[in-house]
Amino acid sequence: MIQFIWQFIQDQILGMKWLNDGIGQGLSAIGFDMNTRLGGSVQFFLYDVIKITILLCVLIFLISYIQSYFPPERSRKILGRFHGIGANILAALLGTVTPFCSCSSIPLFIGFTSAGLPLGVTFSFLISSPMVDLGSLVLLMSIFGAKVAVVYVIVGLIIAVIGGTIIEHMHLEDHVEDFIKQASYVDIAYVSLSYQDRIQYAKEQVIQTFKKVFPYILIGVGLGAMIHNWIPETWIEKILGSENPFGVIFATLVGVPMYADIFGTIPVAEALLAKGAQLGTILSFMMAVTTLSLPSIIMLKKAIKPKLLGVFITICTVGIIVVGYLFNALSALLI
């Protein structure tokens, strides 16, 4: 009974298969042949755009409401109470309820660093924030299932904690730009918000984030529709399937120059999985896009020096590749 209920939640609530069936029936009614590439592409595009938009708005609202309890000043004070690996773990967990992309998490990273928090702790936050969030957990469940989603989040947190710990032990504080270290930090008292204030804040975050993210959703779904209906399955299997032992490395390197968030990469991942790409290879691509996007690296370069930037990129890249091969090895158990 429990398994049936969970399957219903995954298929009909998170996966919204009813929506896909309804769109297919509607397109057929107006003359589309759903067995053609064009019909399949239009159905994929409409279904994924609507599904992701609904999940996006609901998730942002819920996460922003939670986030209203952790403004930057309060987060800094909480992190300041912990030391050692416990602080890294807490920073990584805090990253799960903060901004959805690497570019928006960098200002918080700079603020935490200028406030005097240990460098390794701030990097655990920086790695975790775009790579792992509550939104990614729900969206991954809608496509890959609960096992993959939970293991993905756990592994992402492990990468964030290990990465921050390594950076902490390398004592690279001198490789933070001087203007960050010398920046004055204003200690603003935490203001308790009312229920209505938190609801209003969550609504505003939905509108702002939707405006910023929606173009990437359209691009991602468009690419997904093209992959799903126009690119031969044999091509995907040859490049990203089990036939290519370097597929994980290739997917990671391809993902780095791109800029998107979890909402933009999900439809591409969905299409690649349907075409025979390996699970770990797909997840490596997603992690690379969300964590090591070129715009975020350019922004981060303004705050830290080349050596520290290189260490950060190396740790993330190696961690992502290891995760890819791990998921490929365990895919039979997870899917």
- For residue 82, which phi and psi values (nearest 5 degrees)? -110, 155
Q: How much is the pLDDT for 22?
A: 92
**How far apart are the C-alpha atoms of 137 and 155, rounded to whole Å?**
12
Q: What is the dihedral of CA 214, 216, 217, 220, to 10 degrees?
A: 170
Percent of the chain with pLDDT over 70: 89
Instruction: Check pLDDT > 80 for residue 67.
Output: no
Which of 19-28, 129-138, 193-202 has the lowest average pLDDT?
129-138
Which of 255-264, 284-293, 324-333 has the lowest average pLDDT?
255-264
Both tokens of 236, joined, read 């995907």
Q: How much is the pLDDT for 27?
A: 92
Q: State the average pLDDT over residues 284-306.
A: 81
Higher pLDDT among residues 71 and 195, named by residue? 195
For the purposes of burial, counting CB atoms within 10 Å of the CB of 41, is it exposed (0-12), middle (13-18) or buried (19 or more)?
middle
Q: How much is the pLDDT for 183?
A: 57
Number of domains in the chain: 1
Q: How much is the pLDDT for 287?
A: 83
Tens of pLDDT, residues 80-96: 777 788 888 888 888 77
The range of the structural domain enclosing residue 302 comes to: 2-334
Instruction: Check pLDDT > 70 for residue 121.
Output: yes
**How far apart are the C-alpha atoms of 252 and 240, rounded to whole Å?**
11
Q: How much is the pLDDT for 26?
A: 93
Instruction: Check pLDDT > 60 for residue 20.
Output: yes
Q: State the average pLDDT over residues 153-172.
A: 90
Q: State the average pLDDT over residues 100-126.
A: 76
Instruction: Check pLDDT > 90 for residue 288.
Output: no
Instruction: Check pLDDT > 70 for residue 24.
Output: yes
Q: How much is the pLDDT for 56?
A: 78
In the predicted model, what is the mean pLDDT of the chain?
Answer: 81
Q: State the average pLDDT over residues 193-218.
A: 84
Instruction: Check pLDDT > 50 for residue 186.
Output: no
Q: How much is the pLDDT for 104?
A: 62
**How far apart are the C-alpha atoms of 29 and 43, rounded to whole Å?**
13
Instruction: Check pLDDT > 90 for residue 165.
Output: yes
Q: State the average pLDDT over residues 178-198.
A: 66
Are 15 and 143 in contact by the 8 Å Cβ rule? The answer is: yes
| Predicted structure pTM score | 0.76
Which of 32-36, 123-127, 186-190, 250-254 has the lowest average pLDDT?
186-190
Instruction: Check pLDDT > 60 for residue 275.
Output: yes
Which of 76-90, 112-126, 310-324 has the lowest average pLDDT?
76-90
Tens of pLDDT, residues 150-162: 888 888 899 999 9
Q: How much is the pLDDT for 187?
A: 47
Planar angle of CA 288, 291, 294, nearest 5 degrees = 80
